[in-house]
Amino acid sequence: MLRIYEAKQRPLSDPVIVHVASFEQALGLVELSDKEQALFKILSDHFWPGPLTVILKARSFISPKITANTGYVGLRLPNHPIA
């Protein structure tokens, strides 16, 4: 995990963006109220796939190394065939 930070020359205080393959996969990584989930769905339907990164409360199993000890995770569904 720390090799990602090294390769990107990224400080450990800067969280890693997690790429997901679907809205449903993203939901499995975060804790949201019903209202937050509804808003997230609207944003993802409009902007994903694409460059939008959404910052949300991470589930407890997400490593603090990914969240930079913030408890939040950045999620993106890229619009690129390789990703």
Low-confidence ranges of the chain (pLDDT < 50): none
Q: Give the chain's mean pLDDT.
A: 93
pTM for the predicted model, two decimal places: 0.87
54: β partners: 75
Q: What is the pLDDT of residue 72?
A: 95
What is the domain partition of the chain in residue ranges?
Answer: 2-6+16-76
- Cα distance between residue 28 and residue 10, in whole Å: 26
Q: What is the pLDDT of residue 58?
A: 98
pLDDT of 50-67, one tens digit each?
999 999 999 999 999 999
CA-derived radius of gyration, the chain = 13
Residue 21: phi, psi to the nearest 5?
-100, -15
